[in-house]
Amino acid sequence: MTKSTTLHVTLLLFVTINLCRAQNMVPNPSFENYSNTFCGIQVPTDFNQIMIDWENPTLASPQVFFTNIVNTCYNYQPFSLYSGPIGIKGNQSPRTGNAMVGLWSFTIPNLDQRQYVQAELTSPMITGNTYVIEFYVSLADSMELSIDKIGAYLSVNKPAHTSDGPLNYTPQVLSSTFVNDVSNWVLISDTIVAQDAYSHITIGNFYDDNSTNTMANSTSSGAVGTYGAFYFVDDVRIEEINTTRINDIQNDKLLIYPTNVTEILNLNIPFDSWVEIHNCRGQLIYSQYMGNGLKEINMSNFSKGIYIVSVQNGVKALIRRIVK
């Protein structure tokens, strides 16, 4: 092994350890910490009494759903045996654990009714630093509609409203199309540069009815109370992206996208190189020699987690952090 190669291997291990140390700044990100379970339809004050680290910022009534309560409860998931009179919103298992939240993001046109959840971050963001923000949603399958504007708003102060109407803020993270998948969890994610010392995250639809596009849901049950669009929410994450560069690690134009991968990782490689992917334990998961240009790596069989992609040619080592 040459001195240059040894240097880059050592450097890769060092950077892998540091890039993998990022911590989720969202407390209780999967809604698994709660004071108590709850059976039934919740009113506005219930959410704050049930959920730890999260709160309801308006007079609406976000719902908490559980898999570990009696299956005849309205908010049991999946496949509640609740018999009415209000129709259940849909059937979905939490993406993680036994609990998830649900938000009415559009009700009857022109009523402008919204539900939100909000949390204080474990520490404020640092102005000018880069962060990845993500959360997962799934359209409740019994509902009438889907919408195109589910988002996350980062703020210094806690947004609040003395009604059940929309919070009039512009979310930094927003779904780019209709979120209409009733079977799977859909990732809504973006990377931002903090413009202030943001210390709170609020999730929901921040647009009024006239500014929200809707689409009919083909699996709608038509039952009482299933009008509008209702979304299950789980697994919220905010992490700082370490953009500190060491020597020549990222001086060349290496493009790797998306940073949050569901299946295909795209690469635009500036020179013929070995492409390797390591997990956060330093284990080599993938290794392939590739020519320069546009390439794809299928990561559909990779486990969820943080990975480090390195592109090396014996002279230079270019490194990126991605999340599956």
Question: DSSP readout, 175-230?
Answer: -SS----SSS-EEEEEEEE-SS---EEEEE--S-GGG--EEE-TT----TT--SEE
Nearest of 206, 205, 190, 204 to residue 119 by alpha carbon: 204
| The pLDDT of residue 177 is above 70 | yes
Yes or no: say if 296 and 267 are a contact pair by the CB < 8 Å rule: yes
Q: How confident is the model at residue 221 (pLDDT cuts 50, 70, 90)?
A: very high
Same domain, 187 and 253: no
| The pLDDT of residue 56 is above 60 | yes
Domain containing 305 — which CATH number? 2.60.40.3080
Is residue 38 one of the residues assigned to a domain?
no
Yes or no: say if 116 and 62 are a contact pair by the CB < 8 Å rule: yes
27-48 per-position pLDDT tens digit: 999 999 999 999 999 999 999 9
Domain that holds residue 65: 46-241
Domain containing 214 — which CATH number? 2.60.120.260
| The pLDDT of residue 242 is above 70 | no
Same domain, 102 and 234: yes
CA separation for the pair 203, 49 (Å, rounded): 19
| The pLDDT of residue 18 is above 70 | no
Nearest-5° angle of CA 157, CA 160, CA 161? 155
Pick the last residue of a domain from 212, 241, 270.
241
How does DSSP classify residue 20?
Answer: T
Whole-angstrom Cα Rg for the chain: 22
In the three-class reduction of DSSP (H, G, I as helix; E, B as strand; rest coil), residue 284 is classed as: strand
Same domain, 253 and 304: yes
Yes or no: say if 241 and 321 are a contact pair by the CB < 8 Å rule: yes
Quote the pLDDT of residue 23: 83
| The pLDDT of residue 22 is above 60 | yes
Same domain, 216 and 252: no
- What is the maximum alpha-carbon separation in the chain? 74
Quote the pLDDT of residue 11: 47
| The pLDDT of residue 280 is above 80 | no
Question: DSSP readout, 89-133?
Answer: ------SSTTEEEEEEEE-STTS-----EEEE-SSPPPTT-EEEE
> What is the residue-averaged pLDDT of the chain?
88
CA separation for the pair 127, 192 (Å, rounded): 11
Is residue 34 one of the residues assigned to a domain?
no
Region 89-108: mean pLDDT is 97
pLDDT: is 85 or 147 the higher one? 147
Neighbouring CB atoms inside 10 A of 194's CB total 17
| The pLDDT of residue 57 is above 80 | yes
Number of domains in the chain: 2
Same domain, 261 and 311: yes
As a whole-number percent, the residues of the chain with pLDDT over 90 amount to 66
Quote the pLDDT of residue 271: 82
Same domain, 219 and 307: no
116-132 per-position pLDDT tens digit: 999 999 999 999 988 88
Q: How far apart are the first and last CA of the chain?
A: 32
pTM for the structure as a whole: 0.75
Region 152-167: mean pLDDT is 96
How does DSSP classify residue 288?
Answer: E
pLDDT: is 104 or 130 the higher one? 104
Is residue 82 one of the residues assigned to a domain?
yes
CA separation for the pair 172, 153 (Å, rounded): 6
Pick the last residue of a domain from 241, 270, 288.
241
Yes or no: say if 275 and 290 are a contact pair by the CB < 8 Å rule: yes
Nearest of 98, 99, 104 to residue 117 by alpha carbon: 104
Q: How confident is the model at residue 316 (pLDDT cuts 50, 70, 90)?
A: low
Nearest of 108, 89, 115, 92 to residue 226 by alpha carbon: 89
Strand partners, 269: 293
Same domain, 261 and 154: no
Structure tokens at 312: 């090396």
Pick the last residue of a domain from 211, 241, 271.
241
Same domain, 255 and 119: no
Same domain, 80 and 141: yes
| The pLDDT of residue 141 is above 50 | yes
Yes or no: say if 135 and 186 are a contact pair by the CB < 8 Å rule: no
Is residue 41 one of the residues assigned to a domain?
no
Region 90-99: mean pLDDT is 96
| Separation in Å, CA 124 to CA 155, 198, 237, 297 | 10, 5, 14, 35
Q: Each residue of 215-239: b (16+ CB within 10 Å) or e?
A: eebeebbebebbbbbbbbbbbbbbb
